[in-house]
Structure 1
């Protein structure tokens, strides 16, 4: 459901309730820009192409697309730009922390960072568990998925892959074939299952 936030016009002081427009993702879900409640809107004075668009991540599949930046027309005539949270909110440390907290919450024990330097394809581990956390700006590729799967196979462990930027179509296909759970970290840092194995893992440990 799209988020509704209060917006006050900086010109006339009039208050509004603004709901982010929803757009169709190719996966069939709808996406909307993650609005920031409490941050002041800015008046649009001059338009540039780059300012007209914002990157939005689909919470269902992790795909990122460019959509029109949310704007609101006030009765006084001002056009207001509503603040949007960045799609990759968080550092590598934040992403690993959020993934670890999620794994602990669904029932895994003693989830810790892999020893530095991290083993190839493993950022977090626990008894019977290996996980990778990709905080890069590009979607994870099939090679990364296969690397995690091989590590899990070698250790007879459950695997889980977390990504800030989502996954390529090839990576998702490979993960489905290998049974690797894929999660995307949404702008708030909450992991969301994006394939069947991830949904099964979430349910089985809930």
Structure 2
């Protein structure tokens, strides 16, 4: 069974139960970062690539490798870094214990959904381009066709477009601001399209509230490449799907 730990968001005090996703070792065995039970999660206010990775030892073959640091997106908009046990603890304490693959961390479809989608297969995020690729794959999984992206001219968020869709991806360490949400909404309104926003670093205070009032779905990208919905419009989009 996958190891799970209780997690309390320090921002909103919401309780979660978290299980780290599994990654395939070079030997083929699934590996999960060993979670530190009882440790307080750390809100991520800015990102550095060195802190976003953790050393994990495969229990099957002993290989030590770098994997995405476990993260949890709280519905309040806070991104939490889950504390893991040091790889130096060794196999004796269960560090790097292998287990069955974890399910995707998206909101599951209800039993009444007419056409369940197959499981989403993410791509690990190591670069800003990976974040854009992960968001584009997720939109295709939701049902949008002909998803294309437009490179920004001024270092701003990357635009993703499809029939009936205008999306933005913020792949940097900057938290998405209220103005970003409003600009996206206006762009989508002009195109009579659905606005969707993806952020790697999460959302600034007020951005989620503004998105709720404008019905803009917000997602955060964890380093496994699986977008996680953080507001009700995003939950609804995951449930109903997109596209024509």
TM-score bucket of the superposed structures, by smaller chain: 0.5 to 0.7
- 1:22 correspondence with 2:6: yes
Alpha-carbon separation, structure 2, partners of 1:147 and 1:114: 16
Native 8 Å contact 1:31 1:59 kept in 2 = no
Q: What's the CA shift for 1:172?
A: 0.4
CA contact (8 A) 2:152 2:158 kept: no
Q: 1:66 to 1:119 in 2, by over 3 A?
A: closer
Cα distance change, pair 29–147 in 1 and its aligned pair in 2 (3 A): farther
1:82–1:172 Cα change, 3 Å: same
Over residues 74-127 of structure 1, what are the superposed CA-to-partner deviations in whole Å (9 max), with x where a residue is unaligned?
Answer: 799x878769xxxx9431211111111111111111000125538965511111
Within the alignment, does 1:204 sit opposite 2:240 as a pair? yes
Partner residue in 2 for 1:164: 200
What do you get for the CA RMSD once the two structures are aligned?
3.5
**Higher relative contact order, structure no. (Cα contacts within 8 Å, ≥ 6 residues apart):** 2
Q: 4+ residue runs of structure 1 moved beyond 3 angstroms?
A: 19-22, 31-36, 65-69, 71-76, 78-83, 115-122
1:126 to 152, 159, 162: 162
**Closer, same or farther: CA 165–31 of 1 in aligned 2, 3 Å:** farther
Gaps of 5+ in 1: 5-18, 42-54
The within-5 A match list for 1:4-15 is 4=2
Q: Summarize the Cα distance change of 1:178–1:64 in structure 2 as closer, same or farther, 3 Å threshold.
A: same
Task: Compute the displacement of 1:30 (Å).
Answer: 2.0
Distance across 1 between alignment mates of 2:240 and 2:182: 23
- 1:70 alignment counterpart: 85
TM-score, normalization by structure 2: 0.58
Where do 1:1-206 residues align within 5 Å? Answer: 4=2, 19=3, 21-25=5-9, 26=12, 28-30=14-16, 32=18, 34=20, 37=31, 39-40=56-57, 57-61=71-75, 62-65=77-80, 68-71=83-86, 89-114=125-150, 117=153, 123-205=159-241
Matching residue of 2:44: none
CA distance in structure 2 between the aligned counterparts of 1:57 and 1:34, rounded to whole angstroms: 8
Comparing 191-200 and 25-34, the one that deviates more: 25-34
Between the two proteins, the alignment pairs up a number of residues equal to: 173
